[in-house]
Structure 1
Amino acid sequence: MNPLMKAALGLFAAPRIDMREDYGKVRRAQRWFASLWRPGLRNSYRQTTATVGDRKIRVRIFQPIERRGDDILLFFHGGGWVTGDIETYTTTCRAMAELTGCPVASVNYRLAPEHPYPAGLEDCYGITKQLLEEPQRAGISDARNIVLVGDSAGGNLAAAVSLRLRDEGHVGVTRQILLYPVTHWDHDPTTSPFDSVREYGEHLRLTNAEVQAYMDLYVPDAQAQREPYVSPLMAKDFSDQPRTLLISAGWDLLRDEGEAYGKALQDAGNEVQVHRVPEALHGFIQLPRFTRQMRDAYEVINAFLDEPEHRHDAAKQPEAGPGA
């Protein structure tokens, strides 16, 4: 990215605030903005409640205008484990349902710091495990039709759910779509092993300082941030994971760690496709559907969903956009 472009994009970056102190303000601002669209979106979803243990978890279900397959997309929203919810992601999930032709079930998992790790993961894991064990209760004919999808912190949760299902000996999902996920604990430009942290960690949509603030709110214990269910790239075993589509953003500080996770999965013998959307900022899945970045991403997502449900003889070679 040339300096002029970087300066121009910096004008549209989120205001620089101390997320540790101001996460409540950010939540209120997000919900206010989402409320502006609510009247026109009220008929685009059905809301239900899932019971996991002694907890009630809201799930918002979006149906496509034209259904084009049997898949069900179980979606975990982004927001650094601290912000975002099913309300603020309503337009994103409605677009996802319409652009894929698949129902989308958006999970309202618990947020930090009120509910630090592993609360949010427990919610996502509990719902996924329940659907896999009793898909008919949710009107799903075949558990193999369940596809985990998450963006940013939600991509982190999807990856962690898949690892934990394997670790605890449960049948896992067969496919997952990870959108610019958080996979590593270190986002300090002086110590991070990833160049994208140094190249894109300031003045853009997401900064190094914000990621670290989110991580500290989600997992206050610095040593625990290195655990595989918090930082999936720290796992010792990457085997027996779902067929994976990992989409990264070219101008995102999380780009390299996400792509490194895709390579780790592939090296362990899993089927993996890594696709980099060039000239895209973190969070681009929330852009209007007519943007080039959205068209690029959904072309790859739909091709991934349309692939026959079986393992290939050899793992796919990762793909990347121009400049990868």
Structure 2
Amino acid sequence: MVTERTENPTPPPLLNAMLGLVSAPRLNIRQNYPRLRLLQRLVAGPTGRFQALDRSIVADDGHEIPVRVFLPKQQTHDDVILFFHGGGWVIGNIDTYTASCAALADATGRVLLSVDYRLAPEHPFPAGFDDCLRVTQVLLHEPDVLDLDDAGAITLMGDSAGGNLVAVVCQQLRSSGGPMPSRQVLLYPATWYDHDPATTPFDSVRLYGTGYPLKAQDIMDYMALYVPDAAARRDPRVAPLLADDLTGQPPALVVTAELDVLRDEGEAYADKLREAGNSVRLERQPSTWHGYLSLPRFAGPVVRLHDMITEFLDQPLP
């Protein structure tokens, strides 16, 4: 199913007013990412009122990768969601995403596991990717490590940078010939390496790269912290849209935001998956901007997103 794409709308007056509130003058992310991390923790508030269990996976080099297991209020399905959070590979963690993950678990009726992968710049690429790949492999091979007797079908899900990590983990698993997740859900994912309005091939960068919560310069800053070597940003494990072979990928739900700098590259990735013969559902959320998963669970865009995800997960596999 493909949502009809309206071309480059003008936000209505009320939405423009809201954008004026949320689009504060930008901080220099390369210098101020610790302040952004602190602000996120303060905004996230307490995390103890949700049904969650903290576990960890040991990586090959011995470091522990924290994993938070969210139990839905009513579990109606045996399959499991493995979630990679957003934040430009630099900010965000399982605490700041606890409310969103708990809401996803409740809405879908599924156990959800959130991965606290290592962040740049302290741990640049491929550290975060390696952590997400390791947890996915353990869940596919040894679900009892996370107190799951049988993980059943596994869906990889992530937003923004987390959507990027979903795409590249699926690509890596396909290349290695091991077990694959049953589905993948990419929410407004980053899939490209160039977000300079002067050189990018994507109009959404030029249209929505200023005046919105996520700016083109923000993405360039995040990318510089995650992958300091500019040439290395063309690695398909950083820019999954550059992958030569996308055959054999899990059925995908790709959801973009209409007023998002990353909109066009997310939709281009969905198109490339479909062209490679994969089952793909592409949806564009109207009048929304980047990061809306983190809105309260009763917000309209979140309710619609939960409905889309649940419908996708409830459908029989092709």
Q: TM-score range by the shorter chain?
A: over 0.9
Q: CA deviation at 1:135?
A: 2.6
| 2:35 paired residue among 17, 22, 25 | 25
Equivalent-residue separation in structure 1 for 2:229 and 2:261 (angstroms)? 23
Q: Give the secondary-structure state (helix, strand or coil) at the position aligned to 1:31.
A: helix
1:190 paired with 2:198, answer yes
Contact 2:155 2:183 in 1 (8 A): yes
Equivalent-residue separation in structure 2 for 1:140 and 1:240 (angstroms)? 27
Identity of aligned residues (%): 48
User: Hey, what does 1:151 align to over in structure 2?
Assistant: 159
User: Hey, what does 2:71 align to over in structure 1?
Assistant: 63
Equivalent-residue separation in structure 2 for 1:58 and 1:8 (angstroms)? 36
User: Hey, what does 2:5 align to over in structure 1?
Assistant: none
User: Hey, what does 2:124 align to over in structure 1?
Assistant: 116
Q: CA deviation at 1:139?
A: 4.3
Equivalent-residue separation in structure 1 for 2:207 and 2:246 (angstroms)? 28
User: Hey, what does 1:318 align to over in structure 2?
Assistant: none
Equivalent-residue separation in structure 1 for 2:107 and 2:81 (angstroms)? 12
Deviations 1:234-275 (A, max 9, x none): 111111111100010111010110010001000000000001
Equivalent-residue separation in structure 1 for 2:282 and 2:151 (angstroms)? 25
Q: CA deviation at 1:174?
A: 1.6
| 2:106 paired residue among 98, 102, 118 | 98
| TM-score for both structures, normalised by structure 1 | 0.91
Q: CA deviation at 1:44?
A: 2.4
Q: Which amino acid aligns with 1:176?
A: Q
Q: Which amino acid aligns with 1:26?
A: L
Structure 1 pair 287–27 and aligned structure 2 pair: CA distance change class (3 A): same
1:294 paired with 2:305, answer no
User: Hey, what does 1:37 align to over in structure 2?
Assistant: 46
Deviations 1:160-186 (A, max 9, x none): 100011112212112010000000011
Q: Give the secondary-structure state (helix, strand or coil) at the position aligned to 1:279.
A: coil
Runs of 4+ off more than 6 Å: none
Q: CA deviation at 1:145?
A: 1.3
User: Hey, what does 1:208 align to over in structure 2?
Assistant: 216
Equivalent-residue separation in structure 1 for 2:199 and 2:41 (angstroms)? 35
Deviations 1:282-305 (A, max 9, x none): 000111122221121111111101
Q: Which amino acid aligns with 1:37?
A: P
Q: Give the secondary-structure state (helix, strand or coil) at the position aligned to 1:61.
A: strand
Equivalent-residue separation in structure 1 for 2:300 and 2:74 (angstroms)? 23
Q: CA deviation at 1:69?
A: 0.6
User: Hey, what does 1:52 align to over in structure 2?
Assistant: 59
Q: Give the secondary-structure state (helix, strand or coil) at the position aligned to 1:110.
A: coil
- If asked which structure has higher relative contact order (CA below 8 Å, sep 6+), I would say 2
| TM-score for both structures, normalised by structure 2 | 0.93
Equivalenced residues, count: 307
Equivalent-residue separation in structure 2 for 1:14 and 1:163 (angstroms)? 36
1:166 paired with 2:178, answer no
| 1:16 paired residue among 26, 38, 45 | 26
Contact 1:179 1:248 in 2 (8 A): yes
Contact 2:118 2:127 in 1 (8 A): yes
Q: Give the secondary-structure state (helix, strand or coil) at the position aligned to 2:287.
A: strand
Equivalent-residue separation in structure 2 for 1:110 and 1:137 (angstroms)? 20
Structure 1: 5+ residue stretches without partners: 312-324
Contact 1:144 1:174 in 2 (8 A): no
Contact 1:143 1:173 in 2 (8 A): no
Q: Give the secondary-structure state (helix, strand or coil) at the position aligned to 1:251.
A: coil
User: Hey, what does 1:321 align to over in structure 2?
Assistant: none
Contact 1:152 1:181 in 2 (8 A): yes
Q: Which amino acid aligns with 2:65?
A: I
